[in-house]
Amino acid sequence: MTRVASLYLPQLAIERLRGSERPAGPLEPDIAAKAPLAAIDDDPGACSVPRGGGWRPGARWARDGLLGGSKNRQDAIDALPAHQRPTMREMGRRSEPADHPFKAMRPDDGAPGPAPGGAQDITAMVRAAPGRPMVLVERAGQHDLVTSACPLALSLGLRPGMAAAHARALVSDLEVRDAEPQADRALLDRLALHAVCHWTPNASITTTRDIGDGIWLDLTGAAHLFGGEESFCRRLLRFFARLGFSAAIAIAGTPGAAYALARYGGSAIALLRPGTEPQAIADLPLAALRLGEEALTAAARFGFARIGDLYPIPRGPLARRLGMEAVRRLDQARGLAAEPIVPVVPFDRPRAERRLLEPIATPEAIMQVIGDLVDDLVAGLQARGLGVRALALSCARVDNDEQRLALGTARATRDAAHLKRMLAMRIDRIEPGLGIESFVLAAPRVEALEPEELAAAFAGDCRSPDIAPLVDQLAGRVGEDALFRVQAIESDVPERAVARVGPLAKPAGWPQWQRPVRLLRRPEPLSGVLALLPDHPPRRFTWRRRTYEIVAGDGPERVHGEWWRSAREMWAVRDYFRVEAAGGERFWIFRRGDGVDAPTGDLSWFLQGLFG
Q: Tell me, yes or no, whether 304 and 366 share the same domain.
A: no
165-185 average pLDDT score: 88
Read off the pLDDT of residues 579-601 as tens digits, 9 standing for 90 and up.
999 999 999 999 999 888 888 98
Task: Report the pLDDT value the prediction gives residue 271, as an integer from 0 to 100.
Answer: 92
| CA–CA distance, 196 with 218 (Å, rounded to integer) | 10
Helix or strand holding residue 383 (H, E): helix 363-384
Judge whether 229 and 271 are in contact, CB under 8 Å. Answer: yes
Task: Report the CATH number that the domain containing residue 395 is assigned in CATH.
Answer: 3.30.1490.100
Asked if residue 30 has pLDDT above 70, the reply is no
Per-residue pLDDT tens digits for 37-69? 433 343 444 444 444 444 444 444 444 554 444
Residues 310 and 378 in one domain: no
Q: Rounded to a whole number, what is the distance in angstroms from the first to the last CA of the chain?
A: 67
Task: Round the CA-based radius of gyration of the chain to a whole number and report it.
Answer: 39
365 with 308, same domain: the answer is no
For the segment 180-201, the average pLDDT, to the nearest whole number, is: 88
Position 458 confidence tier, pLDDT thresholds 50, 70, 90: low
Q: How many CB atoms lie within 10 A of CB 135?
A: 26
Write down the mean pLDDT value for the chain: 80
CB 573 within 8 A of CB 561: yes
Angle between helices 315-322 and 324-334 (to 10 degrees): 120
Last residue of a domain, one of 346, 376, 402: 346
Provide the residue range defining the domain that includes 228.
1-21+105-133+179-346
Q: Quick check: is 499 in a domain? A: no
Q: What is the pLDDT of residue 391?
A: 92
pLDDT band at 131 (very low <50, low <70, confident <90, very high): low
Same domain, 261 and 329: yes
- 383-419 pLDDT, tens per residue? 888 999 999 999 999 998 999 998 888 888 998 999 9
Residue 504 lies in a domain: no
For the cut 60, the answer to whether the pLDDT of residue 317 exceeds it is: yes
Judged by average pLDDT, the poorest of 50-64, 286-300, 532-546 is: 50-64
Q: Determine the pLDDT at residue 127.
A: 42
pLDDT of residue 540: 94
Query: Would residue 403 count as lying in a domain?
Result: yes
In terms of pLDDT, which residue wins out, 604 or 31?
Answer: 604
Residues 316 and 340 in one domain: yes
Alpha helices of 118-179 — where are they, by DSSP H? 151-155, 164-170
Task: Evaluate if residue 120 carries a pLDDT over 70.
Answer: no
Q: Of 448, 465, 499, which one is at a domain's C-terminal end?
A: 448
> Residue 502 region, left (φ>0) first, then alpha (ψ -120 to 50), else beta?
beta
Residues 255, 290 within the same domain: yes
More confident position, 94 or 213: 213
Tens-place pLDDT, residues 347-367: 778 999 999 999 999 999 999
Q: What is the pLDDT of residue 31?
A: 36
Number of domains in the chain: 3
Question: Hey, what's the torsion of the CAs at 472, 476, 478, 479, to 10 degrees?
Answer: 90
Q: What is the mean pLDDT of residues 216-239?
A: 90
Burial of 51 (0-12, 13-18, 19+ CB in 10 A): exposed
Confidence of residue 607 (pLDDT cuts 50, 70, 90): very high
370 and 320 in one domain? Answer: no
Mean pLDDT of 226-249: 91
Whether residues 430 and 563 share a domain: the answer is no
